[in-house]
């Protein structure tokens, strides 16, 4: 069983690589500019905030919950950064402050889910609205600009001597850390255990509530970090920054093979899926398709990513299962 499940996941990741190559080929046929180095770094820069939010969300979903509030946490972080910077506070103070607020936002989600026992879908849908609303309370409709050069460079400039944008370096480091934590450490093991069987995890002495709360906090902090990076990249702090990102973030995680019901998924799959969606959007942009229209494709991918594995599993399981259970279930 385990071998078969692992095999399926491997096949799923193979499928993502195939999809990625297909989209690259498609993109290069749409525009000669697609395969250029500068387009590649554009494409990745555009992706990194979503990619950074997708990593903790993957853990949250594997643990059996969901966090829809990430994009609003990003917006709140951006607004708060602009607000404090406009007050004349130094950035070395503003940035940690914003990350702490991200942690508090995550803590609120975590406490409402694990202590009050509310469904995370509802809680984070609520904070999705709440944090966005707070963002506009903090900053209003204005945008804050006039950022120091080192800060805006951090948003899109290359690591000296390379073609690697700074945000990509941040994401790559984080991705490696998540890869290690999920697949090699006891924390990852406990996350899988609670996603596969919450009761058995609890009966095995795992503090399910505490670990889940930490995951929500992590999600809040990294969403705030994404907000800082987006503000730097746009050289502009706005309350509506990152609006609509949640679709791409959730789609990346699920397309990456994370089971929406928890217990299954890999970081490699999620990273691949992030790039699949990035390449798709980039190709469509080059083909002059507006971002709103692109959502048709992303939305379809989201549904496919949930329906696909289920369908594969059902087809592969239907045959032997039917033969096995029929004498009993007919009784």
Residue 1 found at the interface with other proteins (CB under 8 A): yes
Question: Which range of residues in 92-100, 124-132, 183-191, 214-222 is near other proteins by CB under 8 A?
Answer: 183-191
How crowded is residue 155: how many other Cβ atoms within 10 Å of its Cβ?
21
Work out the angle at residue 64's Cα, subtended by the Cα atoms of residues 59 and 70, and round it to the nearest 5 degrees. 55
Q: How far is CA 271 from the centre of its chain?
A: 9
Residue 190 found at the interface with other proteins (CB under 8 A): yes
| Phi, psi at 243, each rounded to 5° | -65, 130
Burial label, 247 (beta-carbon count in 10 A; 0-12, 13-18, 19+): middle
Residue 323 found at the interface with other proteins (CB under 8 A): no
* Binding test (CB under 8 A) with other proteins, winner from 57, 193, 255, 258: 193
Residue 206 found at the interface with other proteins (CB under 8 A): yes
Please report, for residues 72, 140, 205, 217, 235, the alpha-carbon distance to residue 76 in angstroms, rounded to integers and kept in the order given: 6, 11, 36, 15, 16
For the bound state, the minimum distance from the C-beta of residue 212 to other proteins, rounded and expressed in Å, comes to 15
Residue 59 found at the interface with other proteins (CB under 8 A): no
Closest to other proteins by CB, 89 vs 186, is 186
Residue 10 found at the interface with other proteins (CB under 8 A): no
Q: How far is CA 69 from the centre of its chain?
A: 11
For the bound state, the minimum distance from the C-beta of residue 187 to other proteins, rounded and expressed in Å, comes to 7
How crowded is residue 322: how many other Cβ atoms within 10 Å of its Cβ?
10
Residue 207 found at the interface with other proteins (CB under 8 A): yes
Residue 260 found at the interface with other proteins (CB under 8 A): no
80 close to 231: Cβ distance less than 8 angstroms:
no
Closest to other proteins by CB, 187 vs 289, is 187
Closest to other proteins by CB, 105 vs 263, is 263
For the bound state, the minimum distance from the C-beta of residue 66 to other proteins, rounded and expressed in Å, comes to 21
The first and second tokens of residue 81, run together, are: 């950064």
**In the block, residue with structure tokens 């992303």:** 298
* Binding test (CB under 8 A) with other proteins, winner from 186, 291, 314, 322: 186
Residue 92 found at the interface with other proteins (CB under 8 A): no
Closest to other proteins by CB, 191 vs 246, is 191
Convert residues 143-182 into a mask of x (bound to other proteins by CB under 8 A) and - (unbound): -------------------------------------xx-
Which is nearest to 1 in space by CA: 250, 222, 320? 320
229 close to 165: Cβ distance less than 8 angstroms:
no
**In the block, residue with structure tokens 């398709």:** 289
Closest to other proteins by CB, 46 vs 259, is 259
* Binding test (CB under 8 A) with other proteins, winner from 196, 235, 236, 313: 196
Helix axes 245-255, 70-86, angle to 10 degrees: 140
For the bound state, the minimum distance from the C-beta of residue 5 to other proteins, rounded and expressed in Å, comes to 7
Helix axes 37-62, 245-255, angle to 10 degrees: 70
Closest to other proteins by CB, 201 vs 232, is 201
Closest to other proteins by CB, 6 vs 93, is 6
Number of shown-chain residues binding other proteins (CB under 8 A): 27
For the bound state, the minimum distance from the C-beta of residue 62 to other proteins, rounded and expressed in Å, comes to 13
Work out the angle at residue 316's Cα, subtended by the Cα atoms of residues 311 and 319, and round it to the nearest 5 degrees. 120
Positions touching other proteins (CB under 8 A) are 1-2, 5, 180-181, 184-187, 189-190, 192-193, 196-197, 199-207, 263, 328, 331
């Amino acid at each position: 069983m385990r071998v078969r499940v692992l095999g399926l996941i491997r096949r799923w990741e193979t499928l993502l690589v195939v999809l990625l190559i297909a989209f690259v080929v498609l993109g290069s046929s749409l525009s000669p500019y697609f395969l250029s180095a500068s387009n590649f770094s554009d494409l990745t820069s555009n992706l990194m905030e979503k990619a950074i939010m997708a990593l903790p969300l993957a853990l949250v979903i594997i643990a059996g919950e969901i966090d829809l509030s990430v994009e609003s946490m990003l917006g709140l972080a951006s607004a708060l950064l602009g607000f404090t910077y406009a007050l004349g506070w130094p950035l070395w103070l503003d940035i940690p402050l914003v990350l702490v607020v991200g942690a508090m936002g995550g803590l609120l989600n975590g406490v409402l889910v694990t202590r009050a026992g509310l469904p995370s879908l509802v809680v984070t849908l609520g904070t999705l609205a709440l944090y966005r609303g707070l963002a506009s309370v903090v900053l209003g409709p204005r945008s804050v600009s006039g950022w120091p050069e080192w800060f805006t460079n951090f948003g899109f400039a290359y690591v000296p001597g390379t073609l690697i944008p700074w945000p990509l370096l941040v994401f790559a480091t984080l991705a490696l850390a998540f890869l290690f934590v999920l697949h090699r450490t006891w924390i990852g093991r406990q996350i899988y255990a609670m996603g596969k069987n919450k009761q058995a995890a609890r009966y095995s002495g795992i503090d399910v509530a505490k670990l889940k709360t930490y995951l929500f906090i992590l999600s809040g902090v990294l969403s705030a970090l994404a907000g800082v990076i987006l503000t730097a990249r746009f050289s502009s702090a706005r309350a509506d920054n990152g609006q609509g990102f949640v679709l791409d973030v959730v789609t990346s995680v699920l397309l990456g093979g994370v089971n929406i019901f928890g217990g299954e998924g890999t970081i490699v799959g999620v990273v691949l899926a992030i790039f699949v969606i990035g390449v798709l959007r980039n190709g469509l942009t080059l083909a002059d398709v507006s971002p709103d229209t692109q959502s048709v494709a992303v939305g379809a991918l989201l549904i496919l990513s949930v329906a696909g594995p289920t369908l594969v599993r059902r087809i592969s399981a239907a045959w032997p299962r039917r033969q096995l259970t029929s004498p009993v279930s007919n009784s």
